[in-house]
Amino acid sequence: MKIEGKGAILATVAGIVALGLLAGRCAPSAPKGAKKGVAVSDVAQAAMKVYVAPGDLDEYYLFASGGHSGQMYVYGLPSGRHISTIPVFTPYPATGYGFDDESKKMLGDLTWGDTHHPALSETNGDYDGRWLFINDMNGRIARIDLRDFKTKQIIGPVPNVSGNHGSSFVTPGTEYSVMASRFSIPIPKGTAVEVAKYATDYKGVVTGIKVDPKTGEMSMGWQILMPPFDYDLGDAGKLVSNGWVFFTSYNTEKATGKLEVTSAQKDRDYIAAVDWKLAEQLAAKGEGQMIGGVKVIDPAKNPGLVYFMPCGKSPHGVDVSPDGKYVIGSGKLQGVTTAFNWEKVQTAIRNKDFAGDEDGIPVLKYESIKDAEVPVGLGPLHTQFGPDGYAYTSLFVDSAIAKWKLGTWEVVDKVPMSYSIGHLSAAEGDTVSPDGKWLVGLNKLSHGRHLTVGPSQPESSQLVDITEEKMKLVLDFFTEPEPHYAQIIKADKIKAIEVYSKEENHHPLAVWDVKDAGVTRNGNKVTVKIVEVRSTITPTDFEIKEGDEVTLAITNIEQTTDELHGLGLLDYNINIVVDPGETKTVTFKAKKKGVFPYYCTNFCSALHQEMQGYMIVR
């Protein structure tokens, strides 16, 4: 525990006395909050704000990236309760993800992903509750359908993009989800060139992945060739800046080796402003050179496509204000963040007010496009917004959040974060109409603010009440590594289904009657149609031959929500879970002779334990 000085001790004493008075008796042992020097009445107020009574529902969903776990984690706010894990890039035995034919195929050869930035789909710049996109460093983007909270598509690894960090940010109409190379490489992939030729032979690429407005299906949109910088974060313009997407870049020195030294030579790096509507037009005209199977557009040959906005050195986040008028970005070792004025950017472009170029891409003049340098504090990383013109910037070095006003550029409040905040997320904070109310600090270190679990500690997330002028820290909750970024959506925007209805199940191997269950053979190909319903797996046994190629098609014919059944097949590494009304298949070779029990893995009824059978391989 930290010793917080005399003032804190006095406050503690005052708190204990206050509680004693409230309780109408002598002071009992100090409540937990009081130990840390917080007045008791504040603790009680905070508790009331975040308390969601048994049976009551949270007001918001928080979708947090699971970092290199490859998953998404779903929390309720304000309670901070973990509700669900959505497997995306990594097999997850709890839901059988990565074990059935379909999800196995979707994952391909990769059994891990490193997720950073979830992006909720938007209509007119507002979250519409339809889909959730999430990037993977291995050049992929996944789409989760929020109708059933399941991963429906993984696109990639996309050619030419390397280290897809600046992703999966969406444009205001979800026309595109974007990607950017954090690690420039020689392209196409598979070309080996020594690092000494980095500045000339390595390339960055930014990509727009097209999203079908009806189905959400993702496909290749356009790719743009970029100088070999490290493209880090992105954000799409909105309203007045709609049509543009911004990416921060560091190592504009094009250096190699120890980047912490070599990439910090220049005072400024850049934010790349990309005209995605122009990219779309150019791609439609077939512009570009075929590289790695994709047409890559060269901005040096297509004026107007990309501009560089100089920014404090080694920037991290870039964030566009809800009205689209300001682009916020800063060096991550600076004490200020810069607000760039989009109108000034456009004027500078019109007047060709350039300071030079980088590989043929015009560089704008910092002084011509900035409105203010806001003295937020040390180590600004990311900025979120409220409904009232306030901005909130996370400060890694200061381990705090700064609240400041757009337009007047005054810093009005700060709240410490425990410890070392990375991203932060405001309720509906990336939309044209943020909600205010809540802000979550996604901290990198927890330093024992929880029961000890040994050397590997969870990340700590902290809920901040932003309804009043002064921010108030009201709750600590913990997450697995590592929620780089998260988004918060109003719960009533999500219309999830309760079951897969029988009418909607068009799976060719689905069976809804136990009479239709059983084995069909075609040469050495065997299909076993299985029905699961409380409390029998039909068939209760079946026989096949060694060497057969077996497909189990399992249908859960329940139409009651939460009535899941599983199928664990011992010694064959098979683990399927089927939701009510769902059919899944798993295909394998019967390599081992003998008798292999299978059983339901999800506790479904009083006679769940009886839900079992035998596969006999002769």
Residues that bind ligand K7E (CB under 6 A): 116-117, 165, 233, 316, 381-382, 422-423, 484-485
As a three-state string, the secondary structure of 456-502 is CCCEEEEEEECCCCCCEEEEEEEECCCCCCEEEEEHHHCCCCCCCCH
Closest distance of CB 505 from ligand CUA, Å: 18
Q: Which does 602 bind (CB under 5 to 8 A by kind): ligand K7E, ligand CUA, none?
A: ligand CUA
**Under the criterion CB under 6 A, does residue 603 sit at the interface with ligand CUA?**
yes
Task: Please report how many Cα atoms fall inside a 13 Å half-sphere around the Cα of residue 76, on the Cβ side.
Answer: 13
Q: Which does 316 bind (CB under 5 to 8 A by kind): ligand K7E, ligand CUA, none?
A: ligand K7E
Measured from the CB atom, the residue of 182 and 529 that comes closer to ligand K7E is: 182
Q: Which stretch binds ligand CUA (CB under 6 A): 58-66, 236-244, 509-517, 603-611?
A: 603-611
User: Distance of CA 533 to CAs 508, 514, 551, Å?
Assistant: 19, 9, 20
Q: Which does 381 bind (CB under 5 to 8 A by kind): ligand K7E, ligand CUA, none?
A: ligand K7E
Q: In angstroms, rounded to a whole number, what is the distance separating the alpha carbons of residues 160 and 605?
A: 51
Q: Which does 165 bind (CB under 5 to 8 A by kind): ligand K7E, ligand CUA, none?
A: ligand K7E
Q: Which does 608 bind (CB under 5 to 8 A by kind): ligand K7E, ligand CUA, none?
A: ligand CUA
Closest distance of CB 598 from ligand CUA, Å: 11
Measured from the CB atom, the residue of 116 and 403 that comes closer to ligand K7E is: 116
Closest distance of CB 250 from ligand K7E, Å: 12
Burial 176-194 (b: 16+ CB within 10 A, else e): bbbbbbbbbbbbeeeeeee
Q: Give the three-class secondary structure for 272.
A: strand
Residue 239 Ramachandran class (φ > 0 left, ψ -120 to 50 alpha, else beta): left
Measured from the CB atom, the residue of 118 and 362 that comes closer to ligand K7E is: 118
Angle between helices 5-23 and 40-50 (to 10 degrees): 70
Q: Which residue is nearest to ligand K7E (CB)?
A: 422
Closest distance of CB 588 from ligand CUA, Å: 21
**Under the criterion CB under 6 A, does residue 584 sit at the interface with ligand CUA?**
no
Q: Which stretch binds ligand CUA (CB under 6 A): 31-39, 374-382, 572-580, 602-610?
A: 602-610
Binding test (CB under 6 A) with ligand CUA, winner from 602, 613, 615, 617: 602
Binding test (CB under 6 A) with ligand CUA, winner from 205, 309, 426, 604: 604
Measured from the CB atom, the residue of 168 and 601 that comes closer to ligand CUA is: 601
In 3-state terms, the chain is what percent helix, strand and coil (to 5)? 15, 40, 40
Closest distance of CB 164 from ligand K7E, Å: 11
Q: In angstroms, rounded to a whole number, what is the distance separating the alpha carbons of residues 26 and 350?
A: 73
Window 544 to 573, contacts with ligand CUA (CB under 6 A)? 565
Judge whether 91 and 517 are in contact, CB under 8 Å: no
Q: Which stretch binds ligand CUA (CB under 6 A): 84-92, 114-122, 396-404, 598-606?
A: 598-606
Q: Which does 423 bind (CB under 5 to 8 A by kind): ligand CUA, ligand K7E, none?
A: ligand K7E
Q: In angstroms, rounded to a whole number, what is the distance separating the alpha carbons of residues 474 and 481?
A: 22
Judge whether 183 and 231 are in contact, CB under 8 Å: no
Q: Which does 440 bind (CB under 5 to 8 A by kind): ligand K7E, ligand CUA, none?
A: none
Of 567, 581, 496, which is closest to residue 95 (Cα–Cα)? 567
Closest distance of CB 600 from ligand CUA, Å: 3
Closest distance of CB 538 from ligand CUA, Å: 12
Instruction: Name every residue whose Cβ is closer than 8 Å to that of residue 380 and which is 6 or more positions away in sequence.
Output: 330, 332, 334, 336, 337, 393, 394, 395, 396, 402
Of 419, 287, 291, 275, which is closest to residue 349 (Cα–Cα)? 275
What letter represents residue 489's amino acid?
Answer: I
As a three-state string, the secondary structure of 496-538 is CCCCCCHHHCCCCCCCCCHHHCEEEEECCEEEEEEEEECCEEE
Closest distance of CB 563 from ligand CUA, Å: 8
Judge whether 136 and 152 are in contact, CB under 8 Å: no
Degrees (nearest 5) of the Cα angle 55, 560, 98?
95
Binding-site string for ligand CUA from residue 512 to residue 551, where x marks contact by CB under 6 A and - marks none: ----------------------------------------
Q: Which does 484 bind (CB under 5 to 8 A by kind): ligand CUA, ligand K7E, none?
A: ligand K7E
Degrees (nearest 5) of the Cα angle 435, 437, 438?
105
- The site for ligand CUA (CB under 6 A) is made up of 565, 600, 602-604, 608, 611
